[in-house]
Structure 1
Amino acid sequence: MIDESRVLTEQADRWILPFRGLTVIQVQVDFAFGLTFNDQSTARISSTATLGWVNIAAHPDEVELEPERQDVAAGLALFNTQVLSAVAFKSGALRIVFSTGRKLTVDPDPDHEGWTATGPDGMRVVSLPGGDLAVWTSQP
């Protein structure tokens, strides 16, 4: 039987990434800001991201993560947190919500691939320059 939470699922305006229930086991900083999950899936962000809260009324503060300047220290708070949801919007945006109430969002970059997500069975989702997604999967 296939675990539906581990399958890339297409909806009208988005793809549900198979990261629900996974834990961030590694945070990487180089020319990008990377998260590795306990099954070796990844999210690599190379354009500006926003780290905020789901409940903005209680936590109105947000911080920008700028990987191109290695200004991502606030993103270390995501280490050892569990993913509640991960969505790749067909507009090219990414949203990952964590068990701590934190929310990581990335808008599409006008000139570059803003982020890449990889997962089980060769899954790869890339935010293309200017918005839109490229999606690869070995699933039918």
Structure 2
Amino acid sequence: MSTEESPVEREDRWVLNLRGMSVTKITVDFRLMLFLDSDWEVAFDASVDLSYGTAHANPSVLLSPESQGVAGALALFGANVVSAVAFKSGTLRLVFDNGHHLTCSPDPSFEAWQVTGPRRWHFASLPGGDLAVWTGSGASES
């Protein structure tokens, strides 16, 4: 589990404090949801690239929540987060200890993904490619 108490803002990204948290539940309806330890949730409303290892050795698989084409996400069940970064450009990148990577780019028309956690942390990819961040003290656009 992460030793940092809160996400950390950098110049071009937010480093989320999800390191060491495991995927405890996966659900699918019109979106793909990953539930992590400590009440963190990651929701994907847009297509997500799932890759394994290096891009040169293994091509990525496109997970499509809107058509429920997300079977590849089952490989994440029980995996621990190694890195979680929300870029201010609206892209989310998660890296797992089993070698899998998830990357979700912003969508031009709707919020592509959201990450919510305890103490009212909420990150969302805004339509067109910005990042919104809410904390217990309110919202800001990065």
- Structure-2-length-normalised TM-score: 0.91
Q: CA RMSD in A?
A: 1.6
Offset, 1:40: 1.5
Offset, 1:120: 2.1
Q: Partners of 1:108 and 1:126 in 2: how far apart?
A: 10
What does residue range 2-21 of structure 1 map to in structure 2 within 5 Å?
4-21=3-20
Q: Partners of 1:40 and 1:123 in 2: how far apart?
A: 11
Higher strand share: 2
Residues matched between the structures, number: 137
Is the counterpart of residue 104 in structure 1 residue 115 in structure 2?
no
- Stretches of structure 2 that go unaligned for 5 or more consecutive residues are none
Q: Partners of 1:54 and 1:133 in 2: how far apart?
A: 27
Offset, 1:138: 2.3
Q: Partners of 1:23 and 1:12 in 2: how far apart?
A: 27
2:61 corresponds to which residue? 63
The amino acid across from 2:52 in the alignment is W
- Structure-1-length-normalised TM-score: 0.92
- Say which of 51, 62, 74 aligns to 2:72: 74
Q: Partners of 1:80 and 1:61 in 2: how far apart?
A: 23
What does residue range 1-140 of structure 1 map to in structure 2 within 5 Å?
4-57=3-56, 59-138=57-136
Offset, 1:4: 4.8
Structure 1 runs (4+) deviating above 2 angstroms are: 3-6, 53-57
Q: Partners of 1:6 and 1:82 in 2: how far apart?
A: 18
